[in-house]
Amino acid sequence: MHINDLHSGLHIFKALSSEIRLEILTLLTKYDSLNLNDLAKKLNLSNGAITMHIKKLEESGLIEVISTVGKHGMQKICYLNEDELKIELQPKEDQNFYEYQIKVGHYCDFQAEPTCGLATKESIIGEFDDPRYFADPERINAEIIWLSKGFLEYRIPNYLKSNQEFKELQFSFEISSEAPSYSNDWPSDIYFYINNIELGYWTSPGDFGGITGKMNPPWWPPELNQYGLTKLLRINNEGTFIDGFRISDITLSDIQLTTKSEIKLKLAVGEEGNIGGLTIFGKNFGNFDKDISARILYDEKKGELKK
């Protein structure tokens, strides 16, 4: 796993902050795989306590949990997802890139089904659960958007010159599922696309509430969703990754970007599996003072000088 943005790795750092969870990772390194009962016995914990720790590790992407049939019925088997964790504290000096922030309301296309809505830091836009307001001119000021089904698509400027070529696309954002009110256990498969090419998906574990989001305005109702998880989406010539964890083998070559290409990023709720909606948070909602961040890394073409 490769983390080159500290905010996007926050959930991993939290998962590693427990000595018990470190012990779990150590055991999985030693035994390759263990079921929940085995882990509970080796750590002298109850099944309820071990389940809580396993959930944290699974949400971070450090381990994978699968259900299988055993001698005594269904059991959950735990595996390590990766053998190495790399943390990059600052971009390499020799990298060429440009980056900018995109407000969550600056989408170029959408589809939304209730429950759904938008809000600025001052007020709700229009009315709850009415998709017509997604086309309201005020939507460009939206700082939080939620929908049960559908998608949001954003146009990314392409500033590359003829003597340059794409090396990596990076996008970071704070997202979660979308449940009526909120539900911390409400999984949703959120898919990512570039120019309508499916990159893969990440399963959001819930639509989080009960604790006020750090950036939320005072008027935001406490019974609604409060914050999400920050995720870093990377597409390069090795594949597509979320927080350093590979979600597909789709590469930049598959997308075939040129200096004349449009770049459109789409976030969509899946049509099968966990259909649990999508919420995206801007800088005045959630836990992080940021909008959608886009970074484009590029190389100079061989044999050509930088202009």
Select, from the ranges 8-17, 26-35, 76-85, 204-213, the one with the highest average predicted confidence (pLDDT): 204-213
Question: Is 107 among the domain residues?
Answer: yes
Is the pTM of the predicted complex or chain greater than 0.85?
Answer: no
Are 117 and 61 in a shared domain?
A: no
Stretch 116-139: mean pLDDT: 96
What is the rounded CA–CA span in Å between residue 210 and residue 223? 7
Which of 28-32, 171-175, 185-189 has the least mean pLDDT?
Answer: 28-32
pLDDT at 119 over 90: yes
Rounded to 5 degrees, what angle do the CA atoms 56, 58, 59 make?
65
pLDDT at 226 over 90: yes
pLDDT at 307: 46
Residues contacting residue 147 through CB under 8 Å, at least 6 positions apart: 112, 113, 115, 116, 131, 178, 269, 277, 278
Stretch 43-64: mean pLDDT: 89
Are 137 and 198 in a shared domain?
A: yes
What is the rounded CA–CA span in Å between residue 139 and residue 51? 41
Structure tokens at 301: 């073409």
Digit-coded pLDDT (tens) for 155-176: 999 999 999 999 999 999 999 9
Are 35 and 74 in a shared domain?
A: yes
Nearest Cα neighbor of 135 from 118, 160, 154 is: 118
Domain stop point among 21, 53, 86: 86
The domain that holds 111 is classified in CATH as 2.60.120
Residues contacting residue 197 through CB under 8 Å, at least 6 positions apart: 250, 254, 255
Question: Is 306 among the domain residues?
Answer: no
Are 71 and 108 in a shared domain?
A: no
Give the domain range for residue 112: 91-300
Stretch 99-119: mean pLDDT: 96
Are 255 and 126 in a shared domain?
A: yes
Are 110 and 67 in a shared domain?
A: no
Are 77 and 219 in a shared domain?
A: no
- Per-residue confidence at 244, pLDDT binned at 50, 70, 90? confident
**Greater confidence, 36 or 74?**
36
Which of 28-42, 194-208, 212-226 has the least mean pLDDT?
Answer: 28-42
Digit-coded pLDDT (tens) for 270-303: 999 999 999 999 999 999 888 999 999 999 987 6
Residues of the chain with pLDDT > 90: what percent?
72
Backbone angles phi, psi at 36, to 5 degrees: -60, -40
Domain stop point among 53, 86, 119: 86
pLDDT at 306 over 80: no
pLDDT at 197 over 90: yes
Which of 61-70, 180-189, 228-237, 288-297 has the least mean pLDDT?
Answer: 61-70
The domain that holds 50 is classified in CATH as 1.10.10.10
